[in-house]
């Protein structure tokens, strides 16, 4: 190989590296730009909500029922209904979703039926919320005769959350090394003991991450609850899972649709409370996830 050929090869390699560095720089710049746009949009929305609704936040606002007079209106029934519905949603969705993920990942045979179920679960994660509302209206409200109740709303939101929980839980279980399973089985543990005592604790942080995503989506949904008949004006607290209810997104939607500017301020204040509840819920889930990560 001549000296000229070597020089040409070195020049070509250096030119290729420069192009790769340029592309990498462009990609990083695009990523930072996208992040900056998202943060700017979030800051703009929060600033607008705080500017409109901060003056309405008070203990009276949190403990008063809705009213036709904007200065007397509150969100007591709405935030209590939100907490009630989300608690029932978590109680329904988490055992079913995690149990389904464990069965599909650890126990199900790798046949055409399992692949069909996996395909449908993955596709259901992208279905619009209004479709779940129509399904909940037909199944829970009409067929099971739950009416426009807290339980019907929780079942509908749990159904909407299940695909995300199942997919995230399966990925978390799949990330556990097979050597853990093989070691437990070699020491005489049964399949269920291996999953319960070794695989599930290691996968729990990832499962909690999927749970955060699913419940964060559910707490802000109004379309499926409106579809099943959740009320927009509730001047009482639900005393049982079979009572009518409202939630913060529906209450805020009701106030935004009013022409009075004072109701718009009430809606902004209600959304700030909703964000606070969402942050509290995510904070608890994140704390549990980090605790289990440190433990295992």
pLDDT of 2 > 80? The answer is: no
Rounded to whole angstroms, how far apart are CA atoms 179 and 187? Answer: 12
Query: What's the pLDDT band for 234 if we cut at 50, 70, 90?
Result: confident
> What's the confidence (pLDDT) of residue 3?
60
Rounded to whole angstroms, how far apart are CA atoms 275 and 269? Answer: 10
Answer yes or no: are the C-beta atoms of 150 and 242 closer than 8 Å: yes
Query: What's the pLDDT band for 114 if we cut at 50, 70, 90?
Result: confident
The CATH fold assigned to 59-295 is MetI-like fold (1.10.3720)
> What's the confidence (pLDDT) of residue 110?
79
Query: Where do we find the tokens 């994660």?
Result: 125
> What's the confidence (pLDDT) of residue 6?
62
> What's the confidence (pLDDT) of residue 206?
85
DSSP string, the chain: --HHHHHHHHHHHHHHHHHHHHHHHHHHHHHHHHHHHHHHHHHHHHHHHHHHHGGG-SHHHHHS---SSTTT---HHHHHHHHHHHHHHHHHHHHHHHHHHHIIIIIS-SSHHHHHHHHHHHHHTTS-HHHHHHHHIIIIIIIS---S-HHHHHHHHHHHHHHHHHHHHHHHHHTS-HHHHHHHHHTT--HHHHIIIIIHHHHHHHHHHHHHHHHHHHHT--HHHHHHT--S---S---STTS----HHHHHHHHHTSS-HHHHHHHHHHHHHHHHHHHHHHHHHHHHHHHHHHH-
> What's the confidence (pLDDT) of residue 99?
92
**Listed residue (61, 64, 124, 69) closest to 271, CA to CA:** 61
More confident position, 189 or 8: 189
Q: What integer is the mean pLDDT of 35-57?
A: 90
> What's the confidence (pLDDT) of residue 152?
92
pLDDT over 70 percentage in the chain: 96
Q: For residue 262, what are the CA distances in angstroms to 61, 87, 287?
A: 13, 31, 38
- The tens digit of pLDDT for each residue in 263-273 reads 999 999 999 99
Reading phi first (left if > 0) and then psi (alpha if -120 to 50, else beta), residue 180 is in alpha
> What's the confidence (pLDDT) of residue 4?
60
Mean of all residue pLDDT scores within the chain: 87
- The tens digit of pLDDT for each residue in 238-268 reads 888 999 888 999 999 889 888 888 899 999 9
Answer yes or no: are the C-beta atoms of 98 and 89 closer than 8 Å: no
pTM for the complete prediction?
A: 0.85
List the domain boundaries for the chain.
Answer: 3-56, 59-295
Q: What integer is the mean pLDDT of 22-40?
A: 91
> What's the confidence (pLDDT) of residue 75?
93
Answer yes or no: are the C-beta atoms of 210 and 172 closer than 8 Å: yes
Q: Residue 237 CB: number of other CB atoms within 10 A? A: 13
pLDDT of 1 > 60? The answer is: no
6-20, 138-152, 236-250: least confidently modelled range = 6-20
Q: What integer is the mean pLDDT of 185-208?
A: 88
Query: Where do we find the tokens 């679960």?
Result: 121
Considering Cα of 283, then 287, then 293, then 296, what sign does the dihedral take? negative
Query: What's the pLDDT band for 158 if we cut at 50, 70, 90?
Result: very high
């Amino acid at each position: 190989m001549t000296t000229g050929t070597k020089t040409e090869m070195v020049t070509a390699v250096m030119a290729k590296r420069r192009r790769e560095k340029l592309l990498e720089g462009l990609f990083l710049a695009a990523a930072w730009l996208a992040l900056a746009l998202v943060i700017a949009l979030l800051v703009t929305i929060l600033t607008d909500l705080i500017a409109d609704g901060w003056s309405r936040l008070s203990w009276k606002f949190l403990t008063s029922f809705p009213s036709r007079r904007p200065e007397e209106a509150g969100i007591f029934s709405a935030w209590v209904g939100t907490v009630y519905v989300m608690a029932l949603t978590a109680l329904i969705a988490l055992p079913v979703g995690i149990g389904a993920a464990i069965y599909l990942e650890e126990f199900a045979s790798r046949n055409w039926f399992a692949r069909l179920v996996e395909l449908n679960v993955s596709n259901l994660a992208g279905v619009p919320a209004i479709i779940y509302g129509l399904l909940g209206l037909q199944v829970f409200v009409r067929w099971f005769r739950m009416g426009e109740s807290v339980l019907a709303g929780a079942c509908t939101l749990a159904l909407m959350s299940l695909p995300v929980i199942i997919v995230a839980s399966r990925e978390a279980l799949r990330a556990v090394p097979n050597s853990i399973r093989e070691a437990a089985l070699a020491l005489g543990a049964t399949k269920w003991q291996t999953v319960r005592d070794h695989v599930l604790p290691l996968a729990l942080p990832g499962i909690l991450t999927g749970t955060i995503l699913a419940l964060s989506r559910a707490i802000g949904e109004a379309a499926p609850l409106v579809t099943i008949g959740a009320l927009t004006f509730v001047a009482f607290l639900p005393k049982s899972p079979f009572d009518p209810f409202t939630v913060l997104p529906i209450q805020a939607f009701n106030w935004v649709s009013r022409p009075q500017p004072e109701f718009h301020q009430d809606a902004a204040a209600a959304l700030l409370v909703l964000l606070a509840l969402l942050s509290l819920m995510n904070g608890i889930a994140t704390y549990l996830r980090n605790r289990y990560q440190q433990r295992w």
